[in-house]
Chains A and B, each alone.
Chain A
């Protein structure tokens, strides 16, 4: 923590720099907290790619930003030191990130305290935008939208009666499965199993055997990259065969998971964004594919959108933190995710409204299958069994 005196001093310097004429050529500084190394690094990489594409586009618009990158390694304590460094040391105007719910939630509190706008691209813990924070904005949909979309889709495809939840005991896992359980019960589904697991175990077979013993119609899993693959591999081994596997985004929406065709085929997932949703999205996907040789996941699109929105706010408010916050809170933008507008509703604050389509892995590709208005293929339901 800095002393009050030096904080006042730095505020004076910052506002002096923001004065027109004095600021002149100095580019506005934006912080980017991301998981560059660690367990969630494969997702972090797609977010970095999304951000880089956005910076290119902003540069073309004549907006030169200086992005200061920090690695949180997926750990909240590292994320907190990152925001402290960015807010007080580098004196950035706004922050994009971090990725995971646990990190984004920890950073939100600091951002509020330091008075720096935080634009969250892809963290979905419900509470993050429910705490009345003024400086915290979220582009992606919160957890209950994941759960609702998936369960609505399953109910539209068939007549499941029971559901089992398997989730990682992290902020994201517990938040998503909690709202999922509530919604499932309200739709008349019976929750027959609820298994929180500690990540890092080589063996989830006994947990899965227990779930199999309950014979659930739906298996709802919430995991990050490595465990999503591990859980599905072991489900295949044990012959767990519900009517549908529902994967709650995150690890279930990565190119790594898509590449494991033996275990990903016919699994449902839910996503914040699909390339086929609108022409600008398709153009973004083509550009991303050409540049990085991979399909962009929603994480990339959300980060791209977040950075574009921050860029637009900076174009309006300059380096001034309060003006940029004001621009974020009042503006609305046409983006590759549709219209982005930070609103207050249902207890949320500064929350963008996003409808989440449901995808299914068919023939090694993710295909949109729900809702019918945007569906590109017919869903395979019930699960036909393991090959």
Chain B
């Protein structure tokens, strides 16, 4: 029974980080209908910024969030202004090719600059834990989870109550109508892409103290982010949160009760089953 709760706990905590990655992707999709295949590479950039700040200036990875998030926000906004904006009205496959291309350029540029060596951040708490009701709780993972909860909460508040947040949601609901109501949809797009990039960067920073960092680290996370977002319903922030935790828990439990090597398989089978019965995801509204 202890094993069950232990893996449930680590599943929920890891799922929190998956959710954060998914939320970034879902905001970008929601506002612009652009599927961002460079999402994992943006996460990788977040990891490298964190690693750089830690090794050069000895800034704690969690503290460096205050730098990583704005830097990534500006980078995302720049990408949007220079590249993505030009293809907003293009065919979806062109948009996909553009984002894949951007991702490749980013990961290969990092490889050129930093080689493809694995970097490992060692902090005093990289393997710390404390015990709670007989379960061991990983300190860095718990902290990442709390940061995720705080950021998701703040984001929700921002989207629901502030004027800008409402404008972003209006753009997501209907771009043309929002423009007719006097919303600057181009600015909203820049904001949304910046926000999504910042969230990916934060997720990267949160993973950095416990995981390892290399230029191609993004690929698997892009894929995971898609599963999370599609599962929760494209464009739904709450759905992505739910999807992230669901994936985390499924991975964790299937490693225990099926086999460690098969956890991905279980995740994708579950994913297919949910899509069979709810084609628009758990919380997605089907568009007609």
Chain A residues with a Cβ under 8 A of chain B: 37-39, 41-42, 73, 169, 195-198, 200-207, 209-210, 212-213, 225-226, 229-230, 232-234, 236-239, 256, 260, 262-263
User: Inside 8 A of A202's CB, which chain B residues have their CB?
Assistant: 14, 17, 207, 210-211
Partner of B118, one of A210, A225, A239, A260: A225
> How far is A238 from B13 in the complex, measured between Cα atoms in Å?
14
Chain B residues contacting A239 (CB-CB under 8 Å) are 129, 131, 136
Is A238 within 8 A of B129, CB to CB? yes
Knowing A38-B116, A237-B128, A256-B120 touch, does A207 contact B256 (C-beta < 8 A)? yes
Starting from the known contacts A73-B116, A169-B261, A205-B7, 9 additional A-B residue pairs (CB-CB under 8 Å) come to A37-B115, A41-B116, A41-B117, A197-B261, A203-B10, A203-B252, A205-B6, A213-B3, A237-B136
Majority-rule SS of A interface residues:
helix
The answer to whether B3 and A209 touch across the interface, beta carbons within 8 angstroms, is: yes
| Whole-angstrom CA separation of A90 from B94 in the bound complex | 42
A157→B17 CA distance, assembly (Å) = 43
Contacts of B41 in A (CB 8 A): none
A203-B252, A213-B3 known; A230-B118 Cβ under 8 A: no
Q: Which of B117, B131, B252, B261 contacts A206 (CB 8 A)?
A: B252
Separation of A210 and B138 alpha carbons in the complex (Å): 16
> Is B264 a contact of A198 with CB atoms below 8 Å?
yes
A218 to nearest B CB, angstroms?
Answer: 18
Interface set, chain B 123-137, CB cutoff 8 A to A: 126-129, 131, 136
A213 to B189, CA, bound (A): 50
A239 to B137, CA, bound (A): 10
Known: A238-B6, A239-B136. A262 touches B127 (CB 8 A): yes
Q: How far is the CB of B267 from chain A (nearest CB, A)?
A: 11
Is B255 interfacial (CB-CB < 8 Å)? Answer: yes
A232 to B210 alpha-carbon distance, docked (Å):
11
Return the chain B residue nearest A260 by Cβ: B122
In contact, B3 and A210 (Cβ under 8 angstroms):
yes
B38 interfacial by beta-carbon distance below 8 Å: no
Q: How far is the CB of A7 from chain B (nearest CB, A)?
A: 34
Contact check, A205 vs B211: say whether CB atoms are below 8 A apart: no
Contacts of B122 in A (CB 8 A): 260
Give me 13 A-to-B residue pairs in the complex whose CB atoms sit less than 8 angstroms apart, sorted by A's number: A73-B116, A196-B261, A198-B264, A201-B263, A202-B211, A205-B10, A206-B255, A206-B260, A213-B3, A226-B120, A234-B127, A234-B138, A239-B129
B214, CB-defined interface residue at 8 Å: yes
* Chain B 191-224 interface 0/1 with A at a Cβ cutoff of 8 Å (1 = within): 0000000000000000100111010000010000
Q: Is B253 an interface residue (CB 8 A)?
A: yes
Distance of A178 from chain B, by nearest CB (Å): 14
Contact in complex: A209, B6 (CB < 8 Å): yes
A37 to B215, CA, bound (A): 11
Interface pair A205/B3, CB less than 8 Å apart: no
Q: Are A206 and B116 in contact (CB under 8 A)?
A: no
B2, B14, B128, B259: which contacts A196 (Cβ < 8 A)?
Answer: B259
A186 CB, min distance to chain B CBs, angstroms? 25
Cα distance, A198 to B248, chains bound together (Å): 16
A210's nearest neighbour on chain B, judged by CB, is: B256
**B10 with A206: CB separation less than 8 A:** yes
* Smallest beta-carbon distance B171→chain A, Å: 33
- A226's partner among B6, B17, B118, B256 (CB-CB below 8 A) is B118
With A206-B6, A238-B6 in contact, do A233 and B210 touch (Cβ < 8 Å)? yes
Shortest beta-carbon distance from A96 to chain B in Å: 22
B5: nearest chain-A partner, CB-CB: A209
Q: Could you tell me if A196 and B118 are in contact, using CB atoms closer than 8 angstroms?
A: no
Would you call B127 and A236 a contact (CB within 8 A)? Answer: yes
Please tell me if the beta carbons of A195 and B127 are within 8 angstroms of each other in the complex.
no
Q: How far is the CB of A250 from chain B (nearest CB, A)?
A: 14
Contact B129 A230 (CB under 8 A): no
For A260, the chain B residues whose CB sits under 8 A away are 122
Closest chain A residue to B115 by CB distance? A37
Contact status A39-B251, CB under 8 Å: no
